[in-house]
Amino acid sequence: MPRPVALAAAAVPPLLLAALGTTHPTMLTPESAPWWRDLHVIGLGLFPLLALGPWVVVRGRGRVLEAVVVLLGLVYACCYTALDVLAGIGAGQETVVVGPGPWVPALFGMADELAVPGVYAYLAATVIGGATGILAARGVAAQVAAVVGTLVVAAGAWSFLTSHIYPPMGVGTMVALAVGWTTLAAAVPPVLSSTPLPPPRHQQPAPT
């Protein structure tokens, strides 16, 4: 993967979520319900992409390590999509159609229960990604950048356990993830391709 693509994969999803989070209603009401619902429809395509952050750091640095991070990312993506669908789209749509009612806290409760394994899986992937970045960095400057990136991204992942993308805390959480993963992706050396080069073509001797 080219370095610019890796940096974009680390930075763009959380930055888009941060921008989306600035418009997130603080309360679900009949007035805010349409955007509450539509915002989480947009989030369906963005929240799972947060798993790209740890992956771009560990990619190519061991099959088992990469498989573990991919598996944790899958758990996060599945569980957080459930939160998005239930507490976001479902609760918003119910409030639009029939108004506030007991189904809203019921949906929120189920969504929170399903999301917990996901956000902890993301936190675990963050710890693995940060440690990998620190160990893979070469040179003092890169190692310092990797440590700083790990601290920033770990703080963001910890905050993500409770902040979602609600402003202002959730927006700051997404910015921290963007800064941390981008710093780590820039600090680690690129992975050289293991694909063997084709043998050189046989050259005929120059005529005399």
| Closest by CA position to 25, among listed 16, 15, 34, 13 | 34
**pLDDT greater than 90 at residue 17:** yes
User: Is 117 a domain residue?
Assistant: yes
**pLDDT greater than 60 at residue 194:** no
Q: What is the model's pLDDT at position 2?
A: 85
User: Is 16 a domain residue?
Assistant: yes
Each residue's pLDDT tens digit, 69-123: 999 999 999 999 999 999 999 999 999 999 998 989 999 999 999 999 999 999 9
Enclosing domain of residue 19: 3-187
Average of per-residue pLDDT across 49-64 = 95
Measured between alpha carbons, how far is 75 from 81 in angstroms, rounded to an integer? Answer: 10
User: Is 140 a domain residue?
Assistant: yes
User: Is 200 a domain residue?
Assistant: no
User: Is 204 a domain residue?
Assistant: no
Q: What is the model's pLDDT at position 201?
A: 58
User: Is 199 a domain residue?
Assistant: no
User: Is 183 a domain residue?
Assistant: yes
As for how many domains the chain has, the answer is 1
- C-alpha 97: how far from chain center: 32
Higher pLDDT, residue 190 or 142: 142
Average of per-residue pLDDT across 37-51 = 97
User: Is 47 a domain residue?
Assistant: yes
| Closest by CA position to 95, among listed 163, 162, 27, 42 | 27
All residues at 6 or more sequence positions from 60 whose CB lies less than 8 Å from its CB, including other chains: 66, 191
Q: What is the model's pLDDT at position 191?
A: 76
Q: What is the model's pLDDT at position 36?
A: 97
**pLDDT greater than 80 at residue 192:** no
Number of residues that make up the chain = 208
Measured between alpha carbons, how far is 174 from 165 in angstroms, rounded to an integer? Answer: 7
What is the token pair recorded at 37?
């619902």
Average of per-residue pLDDT across 4-8 = 94
The answer to whether the CB of 3 falls within 8 A of the CB of 190 is yes
Higher pLDDT, residue 199 or 16: 16
